[in-house]
Amino acid sequence: MGSFASRADLQAIEAESGWADRDVARSMYDFLGRTRMAHGTRPAISYQLLSEPGSKAITLTWNDLHARVTQAANLFRSLGVGEKDVVAYVMPNALETAVTLLGGAVAGIVNPINPLLEAEQISAILRETKARVVVTLKAFPKTDLPQKVSEAVKHAPTVKTVLEVDLVRYLAGLKSFIVPLIRPKNPSQHTANVLDFNAECARQPADRLTFADSTTDRVAAYFHTGGTTGMPKVAQHKVSGMVYNGWLGQRLLFNENDTVMCPLPLFHVFAAYPILMSMIASGAHVIFPTPAGYRGEGVFDNLWKLIERWKCSYLVTVPTALSALMQRPVNADISTLRGAFSGSAPLPLELFKRFEQATGVQIVEGYGLTECTCLVSCNPPDGNKKIGSVGLPFPHTHVRILQKTPEGFRECGIDEVGEICVANPGVFEGSTYTEVDKNRDLFAEGRFLRTGDLGRLDAEGYLWITGRAKDLIIRGGHNIDPAIIEEALMGHPAVAFVGAIGQPDAHAGELPCAYVEVVKGGAVTVDELMAYAQEHIHERAAVPKHIEVLSELPKTAVGKVFKPDLRRLAIRRIYDAALADAGLPVRVAEVVEDKKRGLVARLLATGPVDQEKLAQIAGSFTTAWEMAA
């Protein structure tokens, strides 16, 4: 185990040995078994249902976790799950969620599904993956998840068994008696067999698998990509890619003495791989507070105290959570904290500075993709963190910046922007997605995954993301396809053209925004369009926060909506409003295209300016800015 401070450190680690030539696990069960042997009585995972620092918590040691995963894997096999069959879970965070993730990958293919999706989307994923078993919640107050899953399973004919997890066991005192009495009814809307997850696991042996564990590298997980209606794309992950993420965490970031606070969901690759797999590889201890993590009631108000309670050395976060956290005072002893890791969306410079001032530790920003089994690059924890960059590519990860030409792909020079393309042990070459058609034109030169992100590599090898070729709106790490918004609004009879983009937001990074051109002779108000959007866009996160009607949308020579001009309009509007609200005599003079930084807001002062306040306001956005001459 060690950290790294420079590109030279990473090159030295890679030169030691090919990671796959090391004595690494060849199956998920072997991976977990090695940790049990090395760290059996040490804590592995702790979980608390409620956010108060003194509330009931349950901890599994590595011995406990290994036994639970063994039982779950045996249960899944007894229910007909073979190596190529799918165990889906639609669960908030709980100990059972982690057990299902690992047990599903041991017995067959595990398929985490975002519980915030609508029933229609959940059902579409279940049909695409041909799931045989679904693990979800038993009816519980303040959640409609069991009802949504019941509706989804009704339209997923391959699902034969639904296993329910009862969260009551995490309650203490009077609540543990009251909740069963007020539990909402959830009559089954499907024909699948409904069983109690923990009761069925308890019937299975905990000291051995009832089937032969395969040590052949194989697909062990399906993770859906975020933010599309209908059918999200489903990425395939091999055991080798999952173990590779853990190997990186153990070799570069964590050791067995670390305790990591992770209020991120286990249906997302960030929590599942860089965190959970790294815990297995290193023997470190991870804390999952509340079912909804950062979204849980009271989590932000109590997070510093939770870090004190568990004596955490690292915090795992995303920019939206950091923004909310920085609105609370540090009201606990967090002297054990050595660092924080942020991903999923770009980090504003102001947030980095404010966190360091408040805590005394720096945020380490990194980059990963569902399609790469997550990890690609990271700023050095012990070295130069270039704020705004996503750091240095990890050992055995090859990042190239390419531009597609009629003759093929051309390698870009230093600081030249092109498409970020990645090859590493987490990339499933040729078959990233379950649907064959979705893999068409996805690879450069046969093995470099085309990420759809635009970026550059600087002279020191740091990777900078400058835009998105695939045009996604990233709202707090949640990917939103602009086509969802555009197709919905185009259904309005008065609408001729729509351009949906992400407008800057100091909290979420981006929020969905739509610009509309009305048909000739037509008329419609913004309020009417907003009501229409709310009715016809079923993904709540995709409903635009701002709709604006223009006399004509900017278009390319072939008549396509030219979105860079729409982004310029949004940047100017958001910056001007924020600066005016702050009482600063500054406005956006123009928004220019910079070859290295993408769109840049050029600001003009119209009077004396408080420079510190200006830096605070302008720095709260991820869009670059500078003062006009």
3-class secondary structure for 340-365? EEECCCCCCHHHHHHHHHHHCCCEEE
Which of the 8 DSSP states describes residue 300?
H
Q: Identify the DSSP state of 97.
A: H
What confidence score (pLDDT) does residue 487 get?
83
* Whether 500 contacts 485, CB under 8 Å: yes
Tokens 């983009």 belong to 501
DSSP helix/strand/coil, 36: helix
Residue 70 DSSP SS3: helix
pLDDT of 123 reads 95
Q: Are the beta carbons of 213 and 77 closer than 8 angstroms?
A: no
Instruction: Dump pLDDT digits (tens) for 131-159.
Output: 999 999 999 988 999 999 999 999 999 99
Identify the pLDDT of residue 230.
45
Query: SS3 string of 235-269?
Result: EEEEHHHHHHHHHHHHHHCCCCCCEEECCCCCCCH
Tell me which amino acid residue 237 is: H
Give φ, ψ of 111 to 5 degrees.
-130, 90
Q: What is the pLDDT of residues 208-263, one digit of tens each?
A: 999 999 999 999 999 998 644 446 789 999 999 999 999 999 999 999 999 999 99
Nearest Cα neighbor of 251 from 500, 532, 19 is 19
State the Cα–Cα distance between residues 56 and 608, nearest whole angstrom: 54
Q: Cα separation of 338 and 363, whole Å?
A: 10
Helices and strands in the chain: count of H runs, count of E runs: 18, 30
Domains contained in the chain, CATH given: 7-365 (3.40.50.12780), 471-560 (3.30.300.30), 562-629 (3.30.300)
Round to whole Å and give the CA distance between 541 and 142. 20
Q: What is the residue-wise DSSP string for 142-180? A: T--HHHHHHHHHHT-TT--EEEEE-GGGG--TTHHHHHH
Residues 6+ positions from 481 with CB-CB distance below 8 Å = 227, 228, 229, 472, 473, 542
Q: Residue 129 to residues 106, 123, 134, 221, 378: CA-CA distances in angstroms?
A: 17, 10, 12, 10, 32
Please give the average pLDDT of every successive group of 10 residues along the chain, which has 629 residues: 83 80 85 98 98 97 98 98 98 98 98 92 94 96 93 96 96 88 82 96 98 95 70 90 96 96 95 97 97 94 98 92 88 96 82 91 93 96 90 97 88 94 94 89 92 93 82 80 86 90 92 93 94 92 95 76 91 96 96 85 94 93 89
Element (H, E) at 410: strand 408-411
Give the bridge partners for 260, in sequence order: 286, 314
Distances (CA, A) of 76 to 85, 89, 130, 185, 585: 10, 12, 15, 27, 64
Distance of CA 407 to the CA centre of its chain: 35
> How many residues are present in the chain?
629
196: β partners: 164
**30 SS3 class:** helix
